[in-house]
């Protein structure tokens, strides 16, 4: 019984090349090719796919969001990220077989890429919600160009207290300096 594979990839040449590779290999069958996450969500409902090959960066809904939805609706469905295999198509069939047999759907390189995408998806507005009112106030003064001493005087606190608040702001916003903190503040 062949492994039924669905392909979700926005680049026509890659999508068609993968389908050609899969259909031309014994034990594999491409059951659907989708150019977007939205199309995949529609198409996969009516299919018996065993493994989905998913591009991470798709137009519209991302591959990551599509995976969330697919796993919610079809927990048994195996999904493999395509990124690394674009340069190593010969390894692709072996990886599909491994995944179908219970192996890992992600190499360490892909896991690292997924983490980067999740970090990029974190919106500055959501990160600002984690700041206390005082931290937001200090950050707003910093964005206006105030020096630590001016912030301390304006708020009636010590310079050391301003520094303590800034250290907490940097941690919460995942930044390393005042410039990065102000940039995130201005992006909210």
Name the burial class of residue 125, with classes exposed (0-12), middle (13-18) and buried (19+) by CB atoms within 10 angstroms of its CB. Answer: exposed
Q: Give whichever of 85-94, 100-109, 141-150, 176-185 has the largest mean pLDDT.
A: 141-150
Give the residue-averaged pLDDT of 113-137.
Answer: 69
Q: Residue 114 to residues 23, 61, 69, 108, 134: CA-CA distances in angstroms?
A: 28, 15, 16, 10, 34
Note the pLDDT of residue 17: 87
Give domain 3-121's CATH superfamily.
Response regulator (3.40.50.2300)
Note the pLDDT of residue 57: 83
Task: Inform me whether the pLDDT recorded for 61 exceeds 60.
Answer: yes
Query: 157 vs 72, which has greater pLDDT?
Result: 157
Task: Inform me whether the pLDDT recorded for 65 exceeds 80.
Answer: yes
Sequence ranges of the domains in the chain: 3-121, 124-187
Note the pLDDT of residue 35: 94
Task: Inform me whether the pLDDT recorded for 48 exceeds 90.
Answer: no
Q: Report which of 76, 98, 82 is spatially closest to residue 28, judged by C-alpha positions.
A: 98
Query: pLDDT averaged over the chain?
Result: 81
Q: Cα(31)–Cα(28) distance, rounded to whole angstroms?
A: 10
| Per-residue confidence band for 148, with pLDDT thresholds at 50, 70 and 90 | confident
Give the residue-averaged pLDDT of 29-45.
Answer: 92
| Per-residue confidence band for 90, with pLDDT thresholds at 50, 70 and 90 | low
CATH 1.10.3720.10 fits 124-187, yes or no: no
* 145 φ/ψ sector (left φ>0, alpha ψ -120 to 50, else beta): left
Note the pLDDT of residue 98: 74
Please give the backbone phi and psi of residue 81, each rounded to the nearest 5 degrees, phi first. -75, 140
Q: Cα(128)–Cα(49) distance, rounded to whole angstroms?
A: 41
| Per-residue confidence band for 185, with pLDDT thresholds at 50, 70 and 90 | confident
CA angle 143, 117, 52 (to 5 degrees): 160
Contact 5, 54 (CB under 8 A): no
Among 20-24, 90-94, 115-119, 139-143, the range scoring the smallest mean pLDDT is 115-119
Q: Report which of 76, 77, 81, 78 is spatially closest to residue 92, judged by C-alpha positions.
A: 81
């Amino acid at each position: 019984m062949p492994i039924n594979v669905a392909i979700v990839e926005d680049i026509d040449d890659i999508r068609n090349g993968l389908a050609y590779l899969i259909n031309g290999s014994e034990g594999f069958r491409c059951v659907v090719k989708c150019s977007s996450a939205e199309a995949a969500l529609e198409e996969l409902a009516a299919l018996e796919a065993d493994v989905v090959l998913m591009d991470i960066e798709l137009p519209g809904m991302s591959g990551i969001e599509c995976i969330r939805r697919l796993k919610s609706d079809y927990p048994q469905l195996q999904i493999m990220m395509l990124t690394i295999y674009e340069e190593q198509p010969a390894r692709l069939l072996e990886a599909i077989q491994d995944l179908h047999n219970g192996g890992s759907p992600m190499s360490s390189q892909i896991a690292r890429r997924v983490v980067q995408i999740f970090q990029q998806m974190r919106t500055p507005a959501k990160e600002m919600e984690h700041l206390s009112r005082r931290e937001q106030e200090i950050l707003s003064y910093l964005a206006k160009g105030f020096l630590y001493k001016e912030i301390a005087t304006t708020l009636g606190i010590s310079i050391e207290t301003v520094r303590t608040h800034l250290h907490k702001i940097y941690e919460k916003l995942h930044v390393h300096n005042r410039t990065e903190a102000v940039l995130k503040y201005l992006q909210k």
